[in-house]
Structure 1
């Protein structure tokens, strides 16, 4: 069983579809699991395609409202935002729908799709197609025009195949194996995406490594290496502690690769970046607590003993020595953490940490 044909002309102003289904009885033991799944899938496909059509029209409606607000000169688009708020539509969702409508109109205007071809797509497949390279859009459109059912999986497969054939980051040995289907293209697209994030010097090293052993295991390994390289390079630029003369980050990276501890090194640098951010946030929060505690102390007095008690209990977090009990105090694994703020000048809370 296949989904009933649902053809809606996107150029029409009155798209219609019959969403009345006769769903199988889940308690009917006479129907086989295969037939049950087929009937459910058929109904689901129709809903999926209707969802796509509806969202395209919603996007067009939103664009019309937005353009109207622009024409009447509503300052800052406030009228459009009020319109969205009245209908409980988030701004991000609205712009996603408008982007979907733009994609549909572009594919139709360029002749890549006929209006009735859109019914061959699932919603996610259509969005994936709109974001794909023009060559991939052409191949997907041809498949839809032939009447093929287009899912996200088919679009990604075509995109992966195109990447494997055209990317300059893949050596010729890998492309040849991808062409004769001895090396699945689904492993190559992630490799290309990760390598694109790297400087050319690292791309050459990884490309040579894959060319030497063009097999699945090597592709997976090099993909992981490229991912950690990108993480390392991105995190290293964010760690202030590393921004000093005398440290050669590139050489350190090469040594980590040579001795096989690239993953640990990348994770180390990434954790250092997170720790610096945590320290900065901790210091800012502590300064705020100190300021608020002083304000509440000055505003309170003997008539507010409970409020003064609250301030006293917060002393471990508002003094120069910060204390925190980790875990149950009665357990053997409990630990008390102490951090001390050492002021650079007397009375200056902004200082060094110990």
Structure 2
């Protein structure tokens, strides 16, 4: 077992289990799937117990893998070539993708955050699934405390439970929701899973657009209204973000707010938001094409200067001197 001391740069080593040790520890007596006398409930309990043990072992292993990867990456930052080549080669030698590596590093960071905050003890980690652990680390401190208390009691923590607690906390503490809808959530007549997405979308909007959404929910505090205004808030946020990124719309003759009002009036906010979003993407593609062409032209010029007349098969391509389009 490997244990970190208070200093994150110092690691105390104890006896590391060998491969045979691990196999022995994970030796299960699994139920016979063809046993007709075995009740389904008992079968599911035995399988679930085995699965949870595997989950705990995988979580502990992946946390330490993430810490190892983070150490290798940080070493490269200090003494590498500045491009992370050494770290990438280290991953390649072990057949680990970059996304997998940073996923494990995120897991290790989550573990260190929760342990350093004092919410969890090292042994409490065993109560979490891997995804629940990461989800807890991303949650508000109050949610982390609630989840950690449950883990200390020995409760099994899944990602679904963490998300539910996080949604409940968001719904009951957000100032963006009117009192009417909070009361219904407290009475459990409206599930909190409908409130948290609305809050997240409203947080992206300026106050001038939050007010009419709040008023609509206050007038009709029901699930259908929540679904509708959540979709509108999502498309509204998408429209506002994309409109700011489209250079062609930076025109005094265009009034984006009036255009937005007209789209809302005729019920075409979704199509309008998609239109503006695709326009922003198109401008980004055009910019990327132009920069790529400039780079290609510069390389062509460099090749021509380096080669000269001694390499007739490496001429300067005249078509590269023309701008695209």
**Shared fold by TM > 0.5?**
yes
- What does 1:133-152 align with in structure 2 at a 5 Å threshold? 133-152=140-159
1:255 aligns with 2:269: no
Offset, 1:274: 4.2
- What does 1:259-338 align with in structure 2 at a 5 Å threshold? 259-276=266-283
SS at match of 1:37: helix
Task: Compare 112-121 and 279-288 and name the one that shifted more.
Answer: 279-288
Per the alignment, residue 20 of structure 1 pairs with: 27
Per the alignment, residue 183 of structure 1 pairs with: 190
1:252-300 Cα deviation digits (max 9, x unpaired): 1122212322222222323444455566778899998xxx9xxxxx96x
SS at match of 1:266: helix
Task: Compare 167-176 and 236-245 and name the one that shifted more.
Answer: 236-245
Distance of aligned partners of 1:69 and 1:232 in 2 relative to their CA distance in 1, 3 Å threshold: closer
Per the alignment, residue 91 of structure 2 pairs with: 84
Question: How many residues are treated as equivalent by the alignment?
Answer: 293
Distance of aligned partners of 1:125 and 1:351 in 2 relative to their CA distance in 1, 3 Å threshold: closer
Task: Compare 35-44 and 154-163 and name the one that shifted more.
Answer: 35-44
| Aligned mates of 2:76, 2:217 — CA distance in 1 | 55
Per the alignment, residue 53 of structure 1 pairs with: 60
| Aligned mates of 1:188, 1:265 — CA distance in 2 | 25
Q: 1:195 aligns with which of 183, 193, 202?
A: 202
1:105 aligns with 2:112: yes
| Aligned mates of 1:276, 1:81 — CA distance in 2 | 32
1:224 aligns with 2:231: yes
SS at match of 1:186: helix
Offset, 1:66: 4.4
Distance of aligned partners of 1:15 and 1:106 in 2 relative to their CA distance in 1, 3 Å threshold: farther
Offset, 1:27: 3.5
SS at match of 1:136: helix
Per the alignment, residue 172 of structure 2 pairs with: 165
Distance of aligned partners of 1:91 and 1:267 in 2 relative to their CA distance in 1, 3 Å threshold: closer
Q: 1:213 aligns with which of 210, 215, 220?
A: 220
Offset, 1:236: 2.0
- Assess if the C-alpha contact under 8 Å between 2:290 and 2:324 holds in 1: no
Offset, 1:216: 0.9
- Return the TM-score normalized by structure 1: 0.71
**Structure 2: which 5+ runs fail to align?**
5-12, 301-311, 314-318
Distance of aligned partners of 1:171 and 1:14 in 2 relative to their CA distance in 1, 3 Å threshold: farther
| Aligned mates of 1:74, 1:272 — CA distance in 2 | 40
1:134-187 Cα deviation digits (max 9, x unpaired): 111000000101111100011001100110111121112222222222221111
Distance of aligned partners of 1:241 and 1:177 in 2 relative to their CA distance in 1, 3 Å threshold: same
| Aligned mates of 1:74, 1:234 — CA distance in 2 | 38
| Aligned mates of 1:102, 1:278 — CA distance in 2 | 35
| Aligned mates of 1:74, 1:58 — CA distance in 2 | 21
- Assess if the C-alpha contact under 8 Å between 1:63 and 1:98 holds in 2: yes
Offset, 1:88: 2.3
Q: 2:129 aligns with which of 122, 135, 143?
A: 122
- Assess if the C-alpha contact under 8 Å between 2:293 and 2:323 holds in 1: no
- Return the TM-score normalized by structure 2: 0.77
- Assess if the C-alpha contact under 8 Å between 2:56 and 2:127 holds in 1: yes
The structure that has the greater radius of gyration is 1
1:20-50 Cα deviation digits (max 9, x unpaired): 1122333444434444333322222111111
Distance of aligned partners of 1:217 and 1:91 in 2 relative to their CA distance in 1, 3 Å threshold: same
